[in-house]
Amino acid sequence: MKRTLISELDNDHLGKTVTVEGWIHEIKRLKSVDFIMLRDKTGIVQVTVKKTETPIGIDLGSLTRESVMRVTGEFPEKQISKKMKEITASKIDLLNVAATPLPLPVAENIESDLETRLNNRFLDLRRHENYAIFHTKSNLLWGIRSFLHTHGFVEVNTPKIVASSTEGGADLFRVQYFEMDAYLNQSPQLYKEILISSGFERVFEVGPAFRAEKHNTTYHLNEFTSIDIEMGFSNHEDAMAMLEGSVKSGIENALSHAHNSGNYQLRMLEVPELPFPRVEYSKCLSMVQNAGGKIEFGEDFGPEHLRVIGEKYPGFYFITKWPSELRPFYTMVDPDDETLTNSFDLQFREREITSGAQRVHDPEMLRRRFVAKGLNPEDFQFYLNAFRYGMPPHAGWGLGLERLAMILLDLKNIRETSLFPRDRTRIVP
Ligand code: ATP
Ligand code: MN
């Protein structure tokens, strides 16, 4: 018996016997007929059960919502409803019975609060609009992956259990690694740079990044998905071009595979035009100061500052040439002005989605940068070694996939874009 997905029920199936499987969305019992709305991930079909007919195998009175069943029946020539496809059941198999009451409504058009939804995430995700988020995220990522493949990148996987911090920061989760102390990696930065010295030339990685930051905002997670690239024989301009190309390709792919089943409207950004504007940090600084913002050269923009800048640049844009003190040790200094760096952030309005830069490739300069940042080069020997025997100039970036998905779908909370989000207080489910 071949299963047909609800979205596949088309003119070719008219008048034929089909088998569909899914969850009971709703049950409507009338005098002479019963209706069961059956849902699979692709849509909802109305199953008509006529009372006069021979028994179909189950007691409809005991059916509960969200139970799982298989329905075999005719997909009639005459489809009465314009809105919903219909099947006339001849046999129903109840595959699994759902308990009642449901801890979270699935079918109703009720907005539950996010906490309750996340506590019952397995049910929450049954709602088509939530499935659509992850379907979109998957296609977004696929579009980025395929762009990078087309441009000669190889996908790699670097360790997430590491011995030292990437940036010397304190925002690390510690783990016990047998008799040693270890950490969960904040970023694949050091490893992807090492692979440039290994001759891979162009690498990318899609993997988890862990940040033990105690913030509790609508755009931070403690575990998020980082898309990282590193490219040899390249500078920050090359990396920016690769970034805007990736973002465009991701959005194009998400749009062309938009998932529109069920009764919700999936809203997405339009495909952005390239190139994205490039705006220097110093120009952004003046904009903020002119708007009355209290900020000096060398300080990072706060949320209220980014709002001012975002109003001037309502789409994607780069902020370039960040001051040296704001960027990590591996960032290349601007050869024309050593207070600045060959670095960039990609923004969407007030939100940062990527940080990137040309990197230092000269081991002596790298040592000096470690010291200037108050770090001990001895702690980074495994990394420095890779620079001593032929490291090409290189550049790269790290993009937060959940941040980009959030922007693409205009969602207000990043937790919506994570299946099982980890935040300051949540590690279950
Ligand atoms: P922010 O200032 O927004 O906290 P960051 O500058 O500390 O971010 P980076 O280290 O530059 O972050 O990381 C690169 C990208 O990874 C960011 O631009 C963002 O898209 C994403 N990212 C970083 N931290 C988080 C987080 N806690 N939750 C979700 N995404 C994150
Ligand atoms: Mn950043």
- Domains 6-96 and 122-417 equal at CATH topology level: no
Please state, in angstroms and rounded to a whole number, the distance separating the CA atoms of residues 58 and 23: 15
403 ligand 1 Cβ < 6 A: yes
145 ligand 1 Cβ < 6 A: no
Is pTM beyond 0.85? Reply is yes
pLDDT of residue 164: 79
**Residue 399 forms beta bridges with which residues?**
227, 354
Distance 81 CA to ligand 2 centre (A): 52
Please state, in angstroms and rounded to a whole number, the distance separating the CA atoms of residues 416 and 73: 37
Ligand 1: residue whose CA is nearest its atom 25: 220
327 ligand 1 Cβ < 6 A: no
Distance 400 CA to ligand 1 centre (A): 6
226 ligand 1 Cβ < 6 A: yes
pLDDT of residue 111: 87
Ligand with minimal distance to 229 CA: 1
Cβ atoms of 202 and 189 within 8 Å: the answer is: no
- 355 CA closest ligand 1 atom index: 11
352 ligand 1 Cβ < 6 A: yes
Q: Is 403 helix (H, G, I), strand (E, B) or coil?
A: helix
The amino acid at residue 38 is L
The amino acid at residue 280 is E
Ligand 1: residue whose CA is nearest its atom 26: 220
Please state, in angstroms and rounded to a whole number, the distance separating the CA atoms of residues 255 and 249: 10
pLDDT of residue 167: 72
pLDDT of residue 264: 74
pLDDT along the chain (429 residues), means of 10: 93 97 96 94 94 75 94 95 92 95 93 96 96 97 98 98 78 95 95 98 98 95 98 98 98 93 81 98 98 97 98 97 97 97 98 98 96 91 96 98 98 98 97
- 352 CA closest ligand 1 atom index: 18
Please state, in angstroms and rounded to a whole number, the distance separating the CA atoms of residues 424 and 426: 6
Choices 2.40.50.1040, 2.40.30.10, 3.40.50.300, 2.40.50.140: CATH for 6-96? 2.40.50.140
- 211 CA closest ligand 1 atom index: 27
220 ligand 1 Cβ < 6 A: yes
pLDDT of residue 379: 87
Distance 189 CA to ligand 1 centre (A): 13
pLDDT of residue 262: 65
Residue from 297, 353, 302, 355 nearest 331 by CA: 355
pLDDT of residue 367: 95
Ligand 1: residue whose CA is nearest its atom 24: 220
Cα angle 108-111-115, degrees, rounded to a multiple of 5: 120
What interhelical angle do 363-372 and 381-388 show, nearest 10?
150
**Residue whose token pair is 């409507």:** 28
- 346 CA closest ligand 1 atom index: 18
Structural domain spans, the chain:
6-96, 122-417
**Dihedral pair phi/psi, residue 117, rounded to 5°:** -65, -45
Ligand with minimal distance to 247 CA: 1
Q: Is 224 helix (H, G, I), strand (E, B) or coil?
A: strand
pLDDT of residue 53: 64
pLDDT of residue 263: 64
End-to-end CA distance of the chain: 36
236 ligand 1 Cβ < 6 A: no
Ligand with minimal distance to 302 CA: 1
Ligand 1: residue whose CA is nearest its atom 29: 220
Please state, in angstroms and rounded to a whole number, the distance separating the CA atoms of residues 381 and 387: 10
Ligand 1: residue whose CA is nearest its atom 9: 355
Q: Is 10 helix (H, G, I), strand (E, B) or coil?
A: coil
Ligand with minimal distance to 346 CA: 1
Distance 324 CA to ligand 2 centre (A): 13
Ligand 1: residue whose CA is nearest its atom 30: 400
Distance 210 CA to ligand 2 centre (A): 14
pLDDT of residue 51: 83
Domain 122-417 is classified in which CATH homologous superfamily?
Bira Bifunctional Protein; Domain 2 (3.30.930.10)
**Residue whose token pair is 């059960």:** 49
Distance 211 CA to ligand 1 centre (A): 9
Name the H helices within 45-168. Answer: 114-119, 121-124, 128-150
